[in-house]
Chain A
């Protein structure tokens, strides 16, 4: 199982799921109508490191963070 957390204004509780790659996570998240709307503008971190490859392999206990558009300062 991997854990997916939704940061900032997304306002959704973390979910756990079975996934072998980030592509599997993408497929499952698209089934949630509210989350699906956020995905085109969200970046992704795996265990607190930013990632850019859908084929990134996942292992049990991994933490995936979904980061919506930012505005610091």
Chain B
């Protein structure tokens, strides 16, 4: 798992991941790119990350992928990421396509629901929590 301040260098990351697994005998490599869209007058999105829990979440996914003969990789931005650049990339490598197609969907959906990352719209230089697009993590409300 890789964390970067600001937008991701998508081509460098995907190229490097391809090189890393070039001799691993995987038949399928399925990348996913999340790009910041220009909407609602935003200049950028901005992200806070709680790294210790994110690493534990990602390690759990590595184990799930390994049990199916696959590998998952991801990179995410911290701080401001301007529109039309990317804040999130992930990928699955697997021996055959079916496992990779299934895993990339499960992984990206669970990422949205349970990765400890907080998103803010940036408008006129101000950071506004994207509350309406955010999801309570599994087990929320324990202390209520």
Contacts and interface: CB of A to CB of B under 8 A. Distances in A.
B118 A70 contact: yes
Interface string A14-56: 0000000010011001100000000111111100111110100
A34 to B, nearest CB: 14
Interface of A: 7-9, 22, 25-26, 29-30, 39-45, 48-52, 54, 65-73
Q: Per DSSP, are chain B's interface residues mostly helix, strand or loop, or mixed?
A: mixed
10 contacts: A8-B129, A25-B143, A41-B136, A51-B139, A54-B142, A70-B112, A70-B135, A72-B111, A73-B108, A73-B117
Interface residues of B, number: 36
B54 to A, nearest CB: 9
Contacts of B135: 69-71
B47 A52 contact: no
A71 B112 contact: yes
B142 A52 contact: yes
B21 interface: no
A72 B139 contact: no
B41 interface: no
Interface of B: 34, 47-48, 50, 52-53, 56, 76, 87-88, 108, 111-120, 129-131, 133-144
B122 to A, nearest CB: 14
Top 6 closest pairs, chain A to chain B, by CB: A8-B118, A72-B117, A69-B134, A43-B137, A9-B129, A48-B52
Contacts of B134: 68-71
A45 B76 CA distance: 21
